[in-house]
Each structure stands twice: as structure tokens, then as C-alpha cells.
Amino acid sequence: MHGIPTGPALVERFRADLPAILADIEQLIRCESPSADLDAVARSAETVAEVGAALLGREPERIVLEGRTHLRWSFGGPAGVLVLGHHDTVWPLGSLRTHPFSIQDGLLRGPGCFDMKAGVVLALRAVAALSDRTGVTVLITGDEELGAPSSAQLIEVEARGRAAALVAEPAAASGALKIARKGISQYRIRAVGRAAHAGLEPERGINAAVELAYQMQVVARLGDLAVGTTVTPTTMTAGTTANTVPADGSLAVDVRTFDVAEQVRIDTALHALSPTLPGARLEVLGGPNRPPLAPSMSECLFRKAVRLGEQLAISPVTGAAVGGGSDGNFTAGVGTPTLDGLGAVGGGAHADNEHVLIDEFPARTALFTALLAEILGGAA
């Protein structure tokens, strides 16, 4: 099947390659890549290109959008599989000093190891294992942690008409694949009032902070935990000095839903907000950023993964619905069957304890490879 061993032999092949795999991951981690630093992302892209070219036998296409560097390897043929990942991280430059790369007690650590530099290497290794890569496109983006402001359209274009999109984002708890993701909407509510001296004539002011406090309560009540919809006020700013009635303020709101209809409901409600204080004015900016990855978009691929896991004699393949978003939301949003969370097993994404379980890596890479081969065979 596409020139790869079958069953447990495939896992053992990647276990034999583990030292080289870990070296590739280390190379990526040691090139820091905070999303907001365009130069750092460009350097990281070159590092990923070097590792990928060595494995895949060709240079990627470098796609620079709004100053952000994305990489694409296309192997032609029918519209088969989009392999998707990102090389940017949330960790600022200098994080290697406080969170150094290390391998100890079966754990690999370092900034961005779990989310998702180990997953990038896993995906490249899986594609490299195929003797026939016809129909595969690998897209590694550089702005996922920002919500994919420059790459979202690129991802959607690449995903349309594909048999499948496989996303090398880190696994959920206990190694579960991510079979559903909430859609994400982001908003900023601005309140405009009127300044006045807080001691001499506060009655002449229109307090933007008080207006936002009213709106925050309205917004927080829009969530519906019974269907998994969360509406969370997050950061709020207002005012200029301690003795002035605030004339301006803003409130950020994070919305997560499993259902497009819920996204629309919340969007409609937020844009219909009206001020409470006489003379105050509201502006609501923002909207949906990522559509939901519905369970129906992953169901068929997940069944394949479960069956292939049994053939590989690895731990039972499980699935989980999660609240966080990924670029897999975009591929599912254009109607492409999508399976997410195929990357590294570990934990601590974005946190001090970020880590990858080294012993799980051969089995995960084997599962990714076998899934690729089966989908391509079916597409052919």
C-alpha cells in the first residue's frame, strides 16, 4: 500500500527512525517563531523548509502573505489529501532560555514542542514514507496562533474538492483525535460617552465604563452551556485618569459554538446591543473567525483511523470534541472531510509544562501514514 509496511511493522519502522525524528524536532524548536514577529516566522519557515526538503526530496513553495511566510509542497495528481499544520508559536523570542529544549524521562520539552512543531515533523515524516505521493499537498502556515489572518483564504482554496484534510495539530487528552471543534467568533464592543471631572461635575459626564459594565452582564447571559455555547467577556479598558469620567472604553468578547446556527444567533444578538445610559453610544466590531468543525465532517475519517489503529496494534484510537479552534475549522467549513489532532501526544500547550510523550511518536506517525495511504488509494 503506497510502498509502506503494513501492521505493526510500520510502527517499528518509525521506532527505528526515532533518533532522527527527535533531531528534526529539536531543529525546529531551536528556531523560535512567535507569530507576531515576521522575521522570526520567516527564519522558522526556512528551517521547516530545510527539514522538509531533506525528507520530501524537493523545496517547498514559499508563500508570503501580509509579510507572513507559509510553505507548500504539492505533488500533483488528483485532488487527494491536504496535510495541514503550522510552524508559528505563542512563545516570545528568548523562551529557550527559560524553557530549554530537553529530552528526559521519556518527555521532550521546549517552546512550541507540543503545539505544534513535533506535529509538523510527524506530518512530513508520514508523507515522506509514501513511495507515491501523487495527490498530496502539504501546507505549513505561519500565522495559525493569530487566527490565520493571512492564510485562511489560502487554506480554504487548497482544501476545496479534496478527499480529505488531515491536521497535525496536537492530540486531545490521552491521545484522542479531535473529531469536533467549536467555531470561534471574536468581538470588540466599544462604548463612547462623555468626559467630565469626577469630583467637580461627574453628573455632566457619560460614563463609558458603567455602560460597558451593563453590557458585560447582557453579553455573559447569551451563552448556552446545554449546547456548548460559551460567550466570555475577556479584556476591558476604559478611561484615561483616575479623576475623569471615562469617555471611551472597550470590551473584548470570545464566543465558541459547536453549531453554525449558534454562531449566527450570538452574532445577531451582539450587533443588536443598544446603550443603557442616555447619550451613550455603542459600536460592535468583529464576528465569526472560524466555522465549527462538525462531527459529521470527521466521522468517516475517524472510523478509518479506528480500524487502522487496530491493524497497527496500537492503543485504541479514541476521539474527543474540543473547544479550541485550528486551521481544520477552515477545511471543514468549505465541506472537506477533516480529521484533526493527528499530531503529537503530550500536554501543556501554551503553558510552562508543554511536553511531548516520545514513546507515542512512532505509533502516531504510523497511524498518520496508514491513513494517508488508505485515503489516497480510495481517491485513486
DSSP notation for 184-216: EEEEEEEEE-B--BTTT-GGGSB-HHHHHHHHH
Across 115-142, average pLDDT: 97
Q: For the segment 211-227, what is each residue's pLDDT rounded down to a tens digit?
A: 999 999 999 999 999 99
- Are 202 and 314 in the same domain? no
Closest C-alpha to 255, from 182, 321, 345, 205: 182
List the domain range (segments joined by +) for residue 346.
Answer: 8-182+292-379
**Is 136 within a domain?**
yes
Local confidence band at 6 (pLDDT 50, 70, 90 cut-offs): confident
Same domain, 334 and 278: no
Buried-state track 69-108, b at ≥16 Cβ within 10 A, e below 16: bbbbbebeeebbbbbbbbbbbbbeeebeeebebeeeeebb
What gap in Å lies between CA 273 and CA 284, rounded to an integer?
8
The answer on 77 and 31 residing in a single domain is yes
What integer is the mean pLDDT of 9-32?
A: 97
Q: Which of 24, 32, 88, 211 is catalytic?
A: 88
What the block records as the C-alpha cell of 124 is: 512530513
| Shared-domain flag, residues 254 and 323 | no
The full DSSP string for 217-279 is HHHHTT-BGGGTBEEEEEEEEE-SSTTB--SEEEEEEEEEESSHHHHHHHHHHHHT---SSTT
Is the pLDDT score of 1 beyond 60?
Answer: no
Indicate whether 198 and 161 sit together in one domain.
no
Q: Which of 143, 144, 169, 354 is catalytic?
A: 144
Mean pLDDT, range 195-216, rounded to an integer = 97
Question: How much is the average pLDDT of 99-123?
Answer: 98
88 labelled catalytic: yes
Average pLDDT over residues 117-143: 97
CA distance 160 to 334: 6
User: Is 281 strand, coil or helix?
Assistant: strand
Percent of the chain with pLDDT over 70: 98
pLDDT higher than threshold 90 for residue 378: no
Are 215 and 146 members of one domain? no
- Mean pLDDT (the chain) is 96
Amino acid (one-letter) located at 196: A
Q: Residue 31 gets which letter from DSSP?
A: S
Q: Could you tell me if 371 and 337 are in contact, meaning their C-beta atoms sit under 8 angstroms apart?
A: no
Q: How far apart are CA 169 and CA 120, in angstroms?
A: 8
End position of a domain, from candidates 268, 290, 312:
290
What pLDDT sits at residue 79?
84
Span 321-370, pLDDT tens digits: 999 999 999 999 999 999 999 999 999 999 999 999 999 999 999 999 99
Domain-located, residue 248? yes
Number of Cβ within 10 Å of residue 267's Cβ equals 18
Which tops the pLDDT comparison, 178 or 379? 178
Across residues 19-26, what is the average pLDDT? 98
pLDDT greater than 90 at residue 170: yes
Residue 295 has pLDDT above 70, yes or no: yes
Alpha-carbon torsion (351, 352, 353, 354), positive or negative: positive
Question: What is the predicted pLDDT for the residue at 380?
Answer: 37
Number of structural domains the chain divides into: 2
CATH number of the CATH domain containing 17:
3.40.630.10
Asked whether residue 2 carries a pLDDT value surpassing 70, the answer given is: no
Inside any domain, residue 365: yes
Question: Whole-prediction pTM value?
Answer: 0.91
For 197, the grid coordinates are 471631572
Q: Residue 2 domain-assigned?
A: no
Is the pLDDT assigned to residue 181 strictly greater than 60?
Answer: yes
pLDDT in tens, 182-199: 999 999 999 999 999 999
**Catalytic site includes residue 143:** no
Q: What pLDDT is stored for residue 199 in this prediction?
A: 96
Q: Looking at the domain assignment, is residue 347 inside a domain?
A: yes
E strands along the chain, which residues?
61-65, 68-74, 81-86, 102-104, 107-109, 136-141, 164-167, 177-181, 183-192, 230-238, 248-257, 281-290, 319-322, 338-339, 346-347, 355-357
Same-domain check for residues 235 and 125:
no
Going by pLDDT thresholds of 50, 70 and 90, the confidence category of residue 3 is low
Tell me the average pLDDT across 250-262: 96
Mean pLDDT throughout 271-293? 97
Cell 470534541 identifies what position? 321
> Please, which pLDDT band fits residue 266 given cuts at 50, 70 and 90?
very high
Give the integer Cα–Cα distance in Å for 273 and 216: 11
Are 296 and 317 in a shared domain? Answer: yes
Long-range contacts of 211-215 (CB under 8 A, 24+ apart): 211/249, 211/275, 211/276, 211/277, 211/280, 211/282, 212/236, 212/238, 212/249, 212/250, 212/251, 214/276, 214/277, 215/189, 215/191, 215/251, 215/273, 215/276, 215/282
